[in-house]
Structure 1
Amino acid sequence: MLRTFLFTLAALLLSFPAKARETNSTPLVYIVPIKNMIEPALVYVVRRGVDEAVRKNADAIIFEMNTPGGAVNAAKEIIDIIGNTEIPTYTFIEQDAYSAGAIIAMATPNIYMAPGSVIGAATPMMMSPMGGVQDMPDEVQEKMTSAVAAMVRAAAEQGGYDPEMAEAMVRADMEYSVNGTVISKEGRLLTLTNKEAEQRVGEDNTPLLSKGTVKNIDDLLKNIELTGAEKRVLQVTAAEKLARLIASIAPILMMIGLGGLWLEFKTPGIGIFGIAGVTCLLLFFFGHHIAGLSGYEDLILFALGIGLLGLEIFVTPGFGVMGLSGLLLIFISFVSAMSERMPGSWRPIDFSPETFSVPLLKVMIAFIGTFIIAILAGKFLPETKALKSLTLQDVVPDPTEDNSLLDRKGTAHSDLRPGGTALIDGRKIDVVTRGDFIAHQTGIRVVEVHGNRIVVEKIS
């Protein structure tokens, strides 16, 4: 009986991911435009498109391309995303696919081109701050060219094309021939028209690059036997542009967020630090969620971590298992939120050091920055006029105040968070700290008296 139950449970768990995906009565095609300059915001669009296509069980993904090129690092990320999906991918070159656009196109195993379209010329260039092309020293030029050549060869191998042809698009000192005919002489970068790209090569008569010339995407769908498919076109949204900004300042958001929460724990009731901290952390998770990196599980891990830290600070003062567990969960949630993951899944692309190295570096910077903020805040913040006014430390002296308590010593009768009670000379008195937490039975000393407001500090 138990064996039958376990077998049934295992079968249900194994079948769950498949049932989570939609089944479509009508063929579904996702169209991802790659238009104008290729830049980091486009990576988010491609990632979102591929992720949605996986979840919706799409039949194909078509990259509709017309671009002069752009950022090579963004192209590399897009190539990795394409390589990690099992859905058939296609590129439709509407007009131009230069530079980074050509590299992305070759990462897909199916290229179709419109009449009069071109692909090629992928040599790296450095742009000046004014927008023009900037000259580079020969050694720098060769270093960049070598790196891009390796990248374009890898993209061609991923798409199933001739790596030598791909490299001829990067290196002008290469000559490239097709069927014994030179189509790119030495000294010129390889650029192919739609007719040149669909030339047949080899004994198996395979296309050089393009599988055919089509007028538009509907014509392409007819060629791949998906006529009448539902087409979903993705666009860059304002949220995805915001995600790009958030990703670039992630360590700063984490520092302000964690620092704000820490200061709120240290000065309960003020609210400003807590609001600033929560806002920055919500922005962090929102931006990475839009970017297709962070899932709700990362936010849940973070919330659990904060909850454990809160218990450690307010319920079981000290710094033990709950506090360390909370910090660990927060650390994991940040790293996970910035790590590349498989489209349609919570899993990282892989568990290699390369997947986590950059997120780990950013989180370490944020934690170190938060530690420095906490030290500086503890030293200087209590003395600032703004905090004194917020915590009611600047009080007009009361002529009836009892200065006889000044410098008297006693013990905390309750936990001071920062308010509570203390025993001084056998009397139970309401006291408050300057924002610090003081545990029950800890020795204290009166440092200020303002009427019925008695300020104490821990005896070191």
Structure 2
Amino acid sequence: MKRLILLLLALLTAPALPAAAASADPPRPAPGAAVYVIPVRSQIEGALLYVIRRGLAEAKQQNAAAIILIMDTPGGTLNSASDIVRSIQASPVPVYTFIEKDAFSAGAIIALSTRAIYMAPGAVIGDALPILMSPFGGVQDMSEGLEEKSVSAVAALIRAAAQSAGHDPEVAEKMVRRENELKIGDDVISPAGQLLTLTAEEAARPGRNPDRPLLSAGTHSDIHSVLKALGLAKHPIRELEITTVERVARVIASAAPILMILGFLGIYIEIKTPGIGLPGILGAICLGLFFWGHHIAGLAGMEDLLIFAAGVLLLLVEIFLIPGFGITGVLGILLILFSLVGAMTRMIPGGPVLPGWTDLHIPILKMGVAIFGTGAGALLLGRFLPRSALGSRLTLAAATSAAEGYTAAPDTSALVGQTGVALTPLRPAGVIRVGAERLDVVTAGQFLDADASVQIIEAHGNRIVVAPAP
């Protein structure tokens, strides 16, 4: 009897399983739902991640029919690409890619995470091999162990992105591992020793499954043709507008070392010259722009600014209130450096509290460039600034001399040998009267009572030394 009941339950629930699976698919968009277009152009970095997240959130809120990334990029940082891939995978709105011209490196990884890739005539996708950039912008050689570690991590990321979107993971991995060979039957698509880079025509050829393309879902001249292929031609297009603030933030994020160098040099010149002047104001503006740009880019928070302010406060206390240079000044410098590195480091919501080396090495590299540049700039300023027209405005060029009548204190040498009476006890400082003149004096160390007779034995400007009169 128990088996019969279980069998009946199984038969009753079996027809509901396909319906449940079908309900997991995204619902058909409303006729008036907009198609969001997000431009992905130039370098891929933290500020672009902020823009894409904003576009994905806005499309979700507006129940958009689809999101299309219009792409033309040489690549960018792996960290930003990884975060963008995760954001796309978590989006309830289907995301597609239309490659206008290039999708290299990080751009290829992002494109492979979308449901379908469309390419314009002459567009190219591929070559996602990780490279290490030097502090001065060139490509830096990696050791064999570090290269394999980086390649392995990127290969896993690009395979996972391709698998989640239904693309061929072997095609994706060939963009990272040159030692692999990509074949379809007897036809070698990309031989071993070469990284895979596909044109629009090559990407649209049949893949391993003859019913599916190798990578591109089709070649189209513009976004309207792509929408027609997706069955969304009647839906309105809403292009995400990248604001001026976001554009400026992207420039600031990429120019972080320059802003830090200018900020540090401005403060250095201000410390070397009296008062508060233009260099100090410009230095503060540069550091303020640094924090503002990274805040807009979604990297820096208020805690970084507060740590920086605490570091500056400790440094000022060390300079103006505590003699010498000790632990307070060192702690202030460490807090300033910590805040600047923290402002350039990505923190994933819900991720680890402490960032790993992959998140820290680029900010630390930028900080190293800033410190080196500040030191070199300070040496050059110390050598050439005093002789320049700007240096003459910051420093006093005219000198004064005693021969011209300029003195820091009156000449009291004529008082030596004169005698007087102590008006107050000398302990050892006090007041005496010489003739009708009252003088502030000190003894050589003796304590003398009031009304004692004294004689002036030294007089150097305002410093007058007396001794008991003989």
> TM-score under structure 1 normalisation?
0.56
Per the alignment, residue 157 of structure 1 pairs with 160
Shift of 1:356: 0.9
Counterpart-to-counterpart distance in 2, 1:118 and 1:365: 36
Look up the SS of the partner of 1:304 in the other structure. helix
Root-mean-square deviation over aligned CA pairs: 5.5
Per the alignment, residue 240 of structure 1 pairs with 247
Shift of 1:165: 2.0
Shift of 1:220: 8.1
Counterpart amino acid of residue 108 in structure 1: S
- Decide which of 58, 61, 64 is 2:60's aligned counterpart: 58
For residues 263-306 of structure 1, the C-alpha deviation after alignment (integer angstroms, 9 at most, x for no partner) is 42343315132123113223333443454433444333323322
Per the alignment, residue 183 of structure 2 pairs with 176
Cα pair 2:291 2:300 within 8 Å, conserved:
yes
Cα pair 1:388 1:394 within 8 Å, conserved:
no
Cα pair 2:204 2:218 within 8 Å, conserved:
no
Per the alignment, residue 259 of structure 1 pairs with 265
Q: Which runs of 5+ in 2 are unaligned?
A: 1-31, 130-146, 414-439, 443-460, 462-470
Counterpart-to-counterpart distance in 2, 1:114 and 1:316: 65
Look up the SS of the partner of 1:366 in the other structure. helix
- CA pair 333-183 structure 1, distance change in 2 beyond 3 A: same
1:358 counterpart = 2:362: yes
Shift of 1:405: 6.9
- CA pair 337-184 structure 1, distance change in 2 beyond 3 A: same
Cα pair 2:109 2:161 within 8 Å, conserved:
no
For residues 52-80 of structure 1, the C-alpha deviation after alignment (integer angstroms, 9 at most, x for no partner) is 2476583688342354xx534x2745532
Per the alignment, residue 299 of structure 1 pairs with 305
Per the alignment, residue 108 of structure 2 pairs with 103
Cα pair 2:59 2:67 within 8 Å, conserved:
no
Cα pair 1:198 1:211 within 8 Å, conserved:
no
- CA pair 288-45 structure 1, distance change in 2 beyond 3 A: closer
- CA pair 120-378 structure 1, distance change in 2 beyond 3 A: closer
Moved more, 372-381 or 162-171: 372-381
Greater C-alpha radius of gyration = 2
State, as a whole percentage, how many aligned pairs show the same letter: 30
Residues paired across the two proteins, number: 358
Per the alignment, residue 325 of structure 2 pairs with 319
For residues 62-102 of structure 1, the C-alpha deviation after alignment (integer angstroms, 9 at most, x for no partner) is 342354xx534x27455323234233562232666654487
Per the alignment, residue 287 of structure 2 pairs with 281
What are the residue-to-residue correspondences of 1:42-441 with 2, within 5 Å?
Answer: 42-43=44-45, 46-53=48-55, 58=60, 62-65=67-70, 67=72, 70-72=73-75, 74=76, 76=78, 78-85=80-87, 86-88=90-92, 90-93=95-98, 99-100=104-105, 103-113=108-118, 120=125, 122=127, 151=154, 154-160=157-163, 161-167=167-173, 174-177=181-184, 182=187, 184=189, 196=204, 201=209, 209=215, 231=238, 233-235=240-242, 237=244, 240=247, 243-244=250-251, 246-342=252-348, 345=349, 351-367=355-371, 369-370=373-374, 387=391, 390-392=394-396, 394-395=398-399, 399-402=404-407
Counterpart-to-counterpart distance in 2, 1:168 and 1:51: 29
Shift of 1:260: 2.2
Q: Which runs of 5+ in 1 are unaligned?
A: 1-25, 125-143, 409-423, 427-448, 450-460
> TM-score under structure 2 normalisation?
0.55
